[in-house]
């Protein structure tokens, strides 16, 4: 069984470690929630430097696992650190380096990227963290290409995410990579969260909550688009479905989502294609048409940009075929 070690530390909020434990420990919660979760799932271990850690609010958690267990895990999750102004403890750095030497998957949420950087595993890589820490991170670790824009960055074996809630997006992304889109969507439904926010989506939106009336119109247009992905959809079509002018629609869509309508639509087409690649016998050309791309070439181009692999290679992960 794939072991996921989650770091616990003094004065942690519990949210970041809790969200990781919720996703990766879902099969252990109860029979009701584990129904439909594939086996084997993940085995979760909460690991800390000391037997007890204090949470914000006065609670104390006693852990059964230490840093040796963290170093031996298949996936290591560092869900932020106690104080970004202080150096990471030598013991934690050693544990991360040991996990890295074993080729474990290394994951950070929010300020957890500081611990990965302290261990040297982010050198030469693109990474992200909470946008508020980006300048400090850049000063302290100039060898890391820090990008404060995306929700998360997937470097294959090393993955980093932005602020706390973006950790949910990254954990779902990992489930999607390990078990496929259908399972990830099922996990998202159980958690009552969005099944997918692309890693490249902006983590900071100047006006994240638009006026309710505008939000409803934007949502209506998005819902219509999702029901008609197999057809050509223009910006004017989307604006018309939201009962707005083209200019107003562009402005309000950006406020509501932090991206552009066409970029969002392309991401939805790619996501819709994943299930077809995983479980259907349609050719890549047929799938491209079914999700609304005007040509297989366009589909492959956007697929590689978003998924960092080709449709055929992605399909091969689930079918063993590459054609």
More confident: 103 or 197: 103
What pLDDT shows up at residue 115?
Answer: 98
Higher pLDDT, 208 or 293: 293
Q: How far is CA 10 from the centre of its chain?
A: 25
Q: Which residue has the tokens 């996501």?
A: 271
Q: So what's the pLDDT on residue 32?
A: 42
CATH 1.10.10.60 positions along the chain are: 216-317
Enter the tokens of residue 148: 């404060």
Is cis: bond before 40, omega within 30 of 0? Answer: yes
Q: Please measure the distance between the N-terminal and C-terminal CA atoms of the chain and give it in whole angstroms.
A: 30
> Does residue 60 contact residue 53 with C-beta atoms inside 8 Å?
yes
Contact 199, 259 (CB under 8 A): no
Question: Which residue intervals of the chain are DSSP H helices?
Answer: 15-24, 26-29, 31-34, 67-71, 90-101, 112-118, 134-140, 166-179, 181-191, 212-227, 235-241, 246-257, 261-279, 284-290, 296-307, 311-319
Question: Phi/psi of residue 249, each to 5°?
Answer: -60, -45
Residue 185 is predicted with a pLDDT of 80
Residues of the chain with CATH 3.40.50.880: 2-191
- Rounded distance, CA 317 to CA 172, Å? 18
The residues, any chain, with a CB within 8 Å of residue 219's CB and separated by 6 or more, are: none
Domain 216-317 coded CATH 3.40.800.10: no
What is the Cα–Cα distance from 177 to 183, expressed in whole angstroms?
10
Residue 157 has pLDDT above 70, yes or no: yes
CATH topology of domain 2-191: Rossmann fold (3.40.50)
Mean pLDDT over the full length of the chain: 87
pLDDT at 203 over 90: no
Q: How many CB atoms are located within 10 Å of the residue 263 CB?
A: 15
Q: Most confidently modeled of 98-102, 208-212, 228-232? A: 98-102
pLDDT of residue 259: 87
């Amino acid at each position: 069984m794939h072991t996921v070690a989650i770091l616990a530390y003094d004065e942690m909020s519990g949210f970041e470690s809790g969200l990781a434990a919720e996703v990766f420990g879902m099969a252990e919660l109860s029979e009701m929630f584990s129904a439909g979760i594939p086996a084997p799932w993940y085995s979760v271990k909460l690991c800390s430097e000391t037997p007890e850690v204090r949470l914000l609010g006065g609670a104390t958690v006693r852990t059964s696992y230490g840093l040796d267990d963290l170093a031996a895990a298949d996936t290591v999750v560092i869900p932020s650190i106690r104080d970004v102004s202080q150096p990471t403890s030598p013991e934690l750095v050693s544990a991360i380096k040991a996990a890295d030497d074993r080729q474990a998957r290394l994951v950070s949420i929010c300020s957890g990227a500081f611990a990965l950087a302290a261990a040297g595993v982010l050198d030469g890589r693109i990474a992200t963290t909470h946008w508020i820490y980006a300048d400090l991170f850049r000063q302290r670790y100039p060898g890391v290409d820090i990008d404060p824009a995306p929700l998360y960055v997937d470097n294959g074996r090393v993955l980093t995410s932005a602020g706390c809630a973006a950790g949910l997006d990254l954990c779902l992304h990992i489930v999607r990579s390990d078990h496929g889109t259908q399972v990830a969507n099922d996990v998202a439904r159980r958690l009552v969260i969005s099944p997918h926010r692309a890693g490249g989506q902006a983590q900071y939106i100047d006006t994240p909550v638009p006026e309710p009336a505008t939000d409803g119109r934007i949502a209506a247009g998005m819902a219509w688009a999702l029901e008609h992905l197999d057809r050509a959809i223009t910006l004017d079509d989307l604006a018309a479905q939201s009962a707005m002018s083209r200019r107003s629609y562009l402005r309000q869509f950006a406020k509501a989502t932090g991206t552009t309508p066409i970029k969002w639509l392309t991401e939805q087409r790619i996501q819709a294609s994943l299930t077809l690649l995983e479980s259907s016998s349609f050719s890549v050309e047929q799938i491209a048409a079914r999700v609304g791309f005007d040509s297989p070439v366009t589909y492959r181009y956007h697929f590689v940009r978003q998924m960092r692999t080709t449709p055929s290679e992605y399909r091969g992960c689930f079918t063993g075929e590459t054609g």
